[in-house]
Each structure stands twice: as C-alpha cells, then as structure tokens.
Amino acid sequence: MKKGIANYNVGDGFDGFMMIKSASKGVASNGKPFLTLILKDASGEIESKLWEATSEDEAVFQAEELVKLSGEVTSFRGRPQLKIQSIRPVQATDGVAPEDFVEKAPIKKEALMERITEAVFEMKNPNIQRLVRYFVQKYQEALLTFPAATKNHHAYVSGLAHHIVSMLNLARELKELYPSLNKDLLYAGVILHDLGKLKELSGAAAPNYTMEGKLIGHIPMMVQEIGQAAEELKITGEEVTILQHLVLSHHGKSEWGSPKPPLVREAEVLHLIDMLDAKMNMLDRALGKVQPGEFTERLFSMEQRSFYKPLFEDK
C-alpha cells in the first residue's frame, strides 16, 4: 500500500483507511440516491461516490467518521475519483485514530513554542515585550494548533505557529543583513500579525469563517484586541499604535484588506516576509507533487500560475 492518497495515480487499486471530510446526498440520473464523500488522510483528499446509498449508509457515513475502503482510483472530468468496491466503518480492532488522518506541520508544537518564547525573550523594549507575551500566553493553546489559512498556505494543524516560526527565522536573518531594522518591532509584528485568525476561524481541525470573521475580518479584530490589551496592561506610548499599524498594514494594500499601506520600515518588511514565507510554503507543496520536466497545477493564490520544475533539479 502506498503512503497517502495524494500519491495514488489513476488506475491504482486502494485498500486502506480514510477519514470522511464531508458527505452529501444526491440523486442520480436513474432516480436513485447516492452519497458524495470527500475522503482524506494526512497527505490529501479525494472525491468518491457511493452509489445506491441506503438511508442506513447515510446515517453511518458522516463527516469526521473513519472508514475502511477498497476500490480503484479513476478519473472524472479530469480529476481523480475513488471508485468504491467496499466500504465499512472502522472497528476498534483496526487500530487507527483520527489524528492519523489530519495533516500537521512538519515541526512539533513544543519546538514551535520554544522558538516563539525565545523571540519574546530577546525583545528589549518592555512595552512591546509585555504586549506580545500577553497574547502568547492568552492564546497559547489555539496559537499552537490553528492553521494559518483554510486553504492555500500552511493550511494544516499548527500551520499558524509554523508560519510564525519560519517568519521569525527570516526576521532574524534580515536583522543581520539590515542592521537598521528594529528587531523588537519585527518579531512582535511576526507573532501578532495573524492572531486575529484565532477568532476569524471556528477551530483548528476543520476551520470555517465565523460571522464576526466575515463581517469584521481578522485584521481589524486584532487591531482592536491590541488596543484592549494595552489598556488592560496600562501600556501607553507609541509602541501600541505602531504595533496596531503593523497588524493593520501587513496585507500591503487596501485592495488586499489593509486600510493603510505599510508606513513604518518594519511594517514593509513584515508584509514582504509574510508573502515570501507563504509563497515558499505553497511552492514546496505544489512542486513536491510533480516530476522534473513537469509543470504544477495552477496555483490559485499565485495568480493562477503553473510552475515548472527544471529537469536538472534531480541531479
């Protein structure tokens, strides 16, 4: 058995376990009901149809359930589909657990936490340090489990912390290369910039947008939280406004959701390294799926570009 559904090709047989990500009922052209199942494991997902589904099937095969399947990978309208030969719910004796079917960051939570803590320790400006520590402590649990987005980049468990840590590493190197940068501001911006997502999204495992997330958005929500935290901690001074500005402007342009563009040097850098890390994450995932000499699928958040993997990459 191959390792992970993402590595199966059309024509391959499949015999193993998967988690149902979503299940919805339809009616076939012959008038009989069927279920459309989106199945996933830690490597990716695949669509499947359960034809002539009984109402019992409907009751059993629901989202978040684990199943044992055998079947074959076929192609439907150019996309892979799993043709089911047999399917049953998992049993206690199968020895599989939900966490095996969820994608996670490649670095452990403890290591991510350690790097974030270290960055907070390095800060010299007491106002900045206290504000950042406040948020790291307040949201520690969610911060270490949420994804950075529902799709596109770092869209996996602990994705947000993984993104933060990558950006902290980038920030550390940039401080070496451009010594005029204020490291405290940059580290604080990196840690805080996306924390509003902890309220914009509904959870770590199967995140959706909350009502507040849709009507306000993570950027103004976080600007507000920084203001409230500063009041609670009785911190005054320009640091509060500047940190709010870093969060506010990190999307770079008003069309992209930042009502003010970066107007402080570290805000500009924060925007650039956020883009850089997100793009590296997307490219690594997309290029990992193709062979040298091939183009990737079109990447939605990179202007629909298809990237090429050079032949000499393999040497």
**Nearest CB to a second copy, comparing residues 17 and 308:** 308
Provide Rg for the chain, Cα atoms. Answer: 23
**Nearest CB to a second copy, comparing residues 20 and 270:** 270
Smallest separation, CB 160 to a second copy (Å): 18
Instruction: Tell whether residue 214 is a contact of a second copy (CB under 8 A).
Output: yes
Rounded CA separation 101/99 (Å): 5
Instruction: Tell whether residue 44 is a contact of a second copy (CB under 8 A).
Output: no
Instruction: Tell whether residue 300 is a contact of a second copy (CB under 8 A).
Output: no
**Within positions 227 to 256, which residues make up the interface with a second copy, using CB under 8 A?**
227-228, 231, 237-239, 241-242, 244-245, 248, 254-256
Among residues 212, 209, 118, 109, the alpha carbon closest in space to that of 159 is found at: 109
Parallel/antiparallel/unpaired status of strands 44-50 and 13-27: unpaired
**Within positions 3 to 42, which residues make up the interface with a second copy, using CB under 8 A?**
24-31
User: What's the chain's length in residues?
Assistant: 315
**Within positions 97 to 116, which residues make up the interface with a second copy, using CB under 8 A?**
none
DSSP string, 130-196: HHHHHHHHHTHHHHHH--S-SSSSS-SBTHHHHHHHHHHHHHHHHHHH-TTS-HHHHHHHHHHTTTT
Which residues have C-beta within 8 Å of that of residue 54, sequence separation ≥ 6? none
Q: Which stretch binds a second copy (CB under 8 A): 53-61, 68-76, 88-96, 106-114?
A: 68-76
Encoded tokens for 64: 């978040």
**Nearest CB to a second copy, comparing residues 165 and 204:** 165
Among 42, 60, 113, 264, binds a second copy (CB under 8 A): 264
**Within positions 154 to 173, which residues make up the interface with a second copy, using CB under 8 A?**
166, 169-170, 173
**Nearest CB to a second copy, comparing residues 66 and 230:** 230
